[in-house]
Amino acid sequence: MSSVSDQIRAALVGLKMPRALEVLDHTLSQLEQGELSALEAIDSLLNEEFSTREDRRVTVALATARLTPIKTLESFDFTFQPSLDRERIMALAELEFITRKEVVHFLGPPGTGKSHLATALGVAAVKAGKSVYRIALADLIDALSKAEREGKLAEKLRFYARASLLIVDEIGYLPITTGGANLFFQLVNARYEKGAMIMTSNRGFAEWGDVFGDPVVATALLDRLLHHAVVVQIDGASYRLRAHADLMPDHVRSNASITPPPPPKRRGRPKAKVSADQ
C-alpha cells in the first residue's frame, strides 16, 4: 500500500495538485477504515483540488476585473430600497442578459445602491466563468484619451471590448468633454450587439446631453445603449447616509426620482426592443 501511495503522491506532485496531495493521507485513512469507497476517495481528492483551484481563479479574476471590495446580492438590503423589484434583480443574476449582449442601466440618486448591484452582478458573472471588467466613466475616458495621444487607441478599444461584461460606473458624476464623449462612443459602438454592459448613472437620459457636452453624441450613445436594454430605476434615500437621515436637508432626503425618457427613434433599423421601468 505504501508503494502505491508513494506513486500517487509522485503523480499529484507531477500534476501540480497541491491540495489533493495535502489531503491524501486523510483520504487514504478514510478509505482504509471503510468510511469511503474507492470511487468516493477519488471523487474527494478531485473535488478538493478543483475547489481550491476555482477559489484561486475567482480571487484572481475579481482583482483583474476590478471588482474589489466584493459586493454580493446577498449583502444588499432590499428592504431599504422598496422601489426595487428583488425578483427582477435576481433574474438578472441568472446572467442571461450577458448571453443576449444587453445593456443594463441602473439609474438613481447617489447612494441608492447602483454600484453595489452592478458590482454584485459582476461578481456573479466572474463566478460563472465570464470575463468582466469594471471602471468608472471618468477613468475610462482618461485611459482612452491617453491611448489616443500615444497612438494606441485601437489597441485600448480592443481591450475594453474584449470582456463579456463591461461595467461602466458613475456616469454623470463628472462632466465629460466632447472629445471624451466621442471616445466613449467609439467604445460603445465597438461593443454594440457584441458584448453586454452594465451602466450606473445619477442622471436621467434626458440629461446625457449635458453630461457628455454634446446632445448629438449623447443621442448616438443612447441609440445604441437603449436598443437592447434593461432599465432599472431606483428611487429612495441614500443607503450610506441612512444613519444620518435626520441631519440631511429635505430636498436631499427626498431624492427625487430620475425618470428615463423613451429611447430615441431608430431610422432604417428594426424597432427597438427595450425593457424599462418608467
Distance in angstroms (rounded) separating the CA atoms of residues 51 and 47: 6
β 273-276/228-233 pair status: parallel
Radius of gyration of the chain (CA): 24
Nearest Cα residue to 160 out of 179, 182, 133, 139: 133
193 and 248 both lie in a single domain: yes
Distance in angstroms (rounded) separating the CA atoms of residues 34 and 218: 69
56 and 70 both lie in a single domain: no
**SS3 label, residue 150:** coil
pLDDT of res. 241: 52
pLDDT of res. 175: 86
37 and 80 both lie in a single domain: no
pLDDT of res. 272: 46
45 and 156 both lie in a single domain: no
48 and 130 both lie in a single domain: no
234 and 113 both lie in a single domain: yes
Range of the domain at 75: 66-276
Per-residue pLDDT tens listing for the chain (278 residues): 568 889 999 999 999 999 999 999 999 999 999 999 999 999 999 999 999 999 999 999 999 999 999 999 999 999 888 889 999 999 999 999 999 999 999 999 998 999 999 999 999 999 999 999 999 999 999 999 999 999 999 999 999 999 999 999 999 998 898 899 999 999 999 999 999 999 999 999 999 999 999 999 999 999 999 999 999 999 866 655 555 555 545 544 444 444 444 554 554 444 444 444 44
